[in-house]
Amino acid sequence: MKTILIVEDTEDYSDALKHTLTQKGYNVVVAATGQEGLAKAISEKPDLILMDVMLPDQDGAETVLQIKEQPFLTNVRIVFLTALTSDSKSGDNTIMVQGWDYPSISKMLDQDEIVKRVAQYLAGL
């Protein structure tokens, strides 16, 4: 079973996404802050991290840099979740963090579409 870490400070959103992903057979762990997300990434070693861009303690980019400093987490897939700008047709975009492009998906997409994209990212597409 694949493990997904959701780092998201909006509880209603993270709860709904966790429920949807759990129903699709994923093991889902949730963190509400960047520091909690880092700790859970270290302890859970997820297959995929869905990272909010704007978090209360530090932004998602700073958290990603801290995660990537962990030798055993350098290959974990990270996808940003954002309510900010996105391609209006696909809901996709990329966010650059220290020269690396990370995919992002819009929180405005319906849950089924997000699950579809999670499956694609887990498959390496």
Token pair belonging to 68 = 């990537």
Q: What is the pLDDT of residues 6-44, one digit of tens each?
A: 999 999 999 999 999 999 999 999 999 999 999 999 999
Question: Does domain 3-122 sit in CATH 3.40.50.2300?
Answer: yes
Burial level of 36, CB count in 10 A (0-12/13-18/19+)? middle
Could you tell me the pTM of the whole model?
Answer: 0.87
Closest CA to 83 of 109, 121, 115, 47: 109
The string of pLDDT tens digits covering residues 55-74 is 999 988 899 999 999 999 98
Domain boundaries, the chain: 3-122
CA atoms within 13 A on the CB side of 15: 3
